[in-house]
Amino acid sequence: MKPLRKAVFPVAGLGTRNLPATKSVPKEMLPVVDRPLIQYAVDEALAAGIEQLIFVTGRGKGSMEDYFDISYELEATMRERGKSLDSLKGTRLEAGQIAYVRQQEPLGLGHAVWCARHLVGDEPFAVLLVDELLWNPVNPSISQLAETYREKGGNVISVLEVPADHTHRYGIVDPGLSTGELTEVRGFVEKPKPGTAPSRLAAIGRYVLQPEVMTVLDKGERGAGGEIQLTDALAQLIGSQPFHARTYRGARYDCGDKAGFVQANLALALERQDIGAEVREFARELLG
């Protein structure tokens, strides 16, 4: 079994649900407390032992490249003023650790992943959707999936049970045998029409995948919403590769949704040593 060393971050979407902020700021650069969403996802991947990070970017996403660069002017000025550089920790990665490819048109998540095919090569790879902030500092979601991959091989995705009236927003699993947190995936359907979902088990933006999915994506088939869907490509691999869904344990904030984004800020601010008490006091006063 090949080790999991690579992760793909599709960050080329338009982020229309977060407009107007995302008109000039990439969704992935929106801050939760004081770190942009992309930093949380990168930290999660590194914690799982991922060595190579592949960003699939698009127009207007340049600030993400700058963010993981060295800012000599800023660092020099901070040093001159006697300020600690600790706040920049995490933004500096090893030279060559991040590679960028471009998705020229946002044709869907499957297409974004396919744009990384030459960098992925013939190795397994993780996919992290950055607007899903999965917060489990002890055992992050990708680490949970990596563990299952080492046990079972094949494709593994993170899932959570969602309310029945939300299933049309997600990729939904048709479940086979289930033991504890693990469920065999018998089918996988993107955004099923209301009332037709095979279960309430929804994919929440973390995957460990086999490179064969790229061959399926080569066909460029369109699915729900006219987009090239990762879900549809994975569904075609069922039967030829093991495919498991692992129920995620931890907090989840869908930051592609306005309410989820505000909740993430509040929850993570409350956990912070430096500002938690002040925010808690404010929230108490606000709520009476």
In the complex, the residues that contact ligand UTP under the rule CB under 6 A are 10-18, 27, 56, 103, 106-109, 111-112, 129-131, 256
Give me the least distance between CB of 115 and ligand UTP, in Å please: 8
Residue nearest to ligand UTP (CB): 13
User: Least distance in Å: CB of 14 to ligand UTP?
Assistant: 5
Helix extents (H) in the chain: 37-47, 62-67, 72-80, 109-114, 117-120, 141-152, 213-217, 230-235, 258-271, 276-287
Nearest to 27 by CA among 129, 104, 97: 129
Q: Closer to ligand UTP by CB, 12 or 214: give it.
A: 12
* Residue 93, token pair as written in the block: 């990665």
- Separation CA 156–CA 36 (nearest Å): 26
CB of 240 to ligand UTP, least distance (A): 25
Please, are residues 130 and 28 in contact by the beta-carbon 8 Å criterion?
A: yes
Nearer to ligand UTP, 14 or 251 (CB): 14
Least separation in angstroms between CB 286 and ligand UTP? 28
Instruction: Considering the complex, state which of residue 206 and residue 244 has its C-beta at the smaller distance from ligand UTP.
Output: 206
Q: What is the CA radius of gyration of the chain?
A: 19
265: phi then psi, degrees, rounded to nearest 5? -60, -45
- Cα dist from 100 to 9, 11, 40, 133, whole Å: 10, 10, 18, 22
User: What is d(CA 98, CA 76) in angstroms, rounded to the nearest whole number?
Assistant: 24
Q: What is the pairing mode between strands 155-161 and 243-247?
A: parallel
Shortest CB 188 distance to ligand UTP, Å: 16
Q: Which is nearer to ligand UTP, 101 or 275 (CB)?
A: 101
Closest to ligand UTP by CB, 163 or 226: 226
Token reading at 94: 């090893």
- Structure token pair of residue 34: 């004081």
Asked if residues 205 and 132 have their Cβ atoms less than 8 Å apart, the reply is: yes
Spatial separation of the C-alpha atoms in residues 91 and 66, rounded to whole Å: 10
Nearer to ligand UTP among residue 135 and residue 282 (C-beta): 135
Please list the residues that pair with 134 across neighbouring strands: 252
Q: How far is the CB of 207 from ligand UTP (least distance, A)?
A: 12
Least Å from the CB of residue 175 to ligand UTP = 23
HSE on the CB side for 191, CA within 13 Å?
9
Q: Rank residues 199 and 229 by Cβ distance to ligand UTP and give the closer one.
A: 229
Shortest distance in whole angstroms from residue 15 CB to ligand UTP: 4
> Of 29 and 237, which has the nearer Cβ to ligand UTP?
29
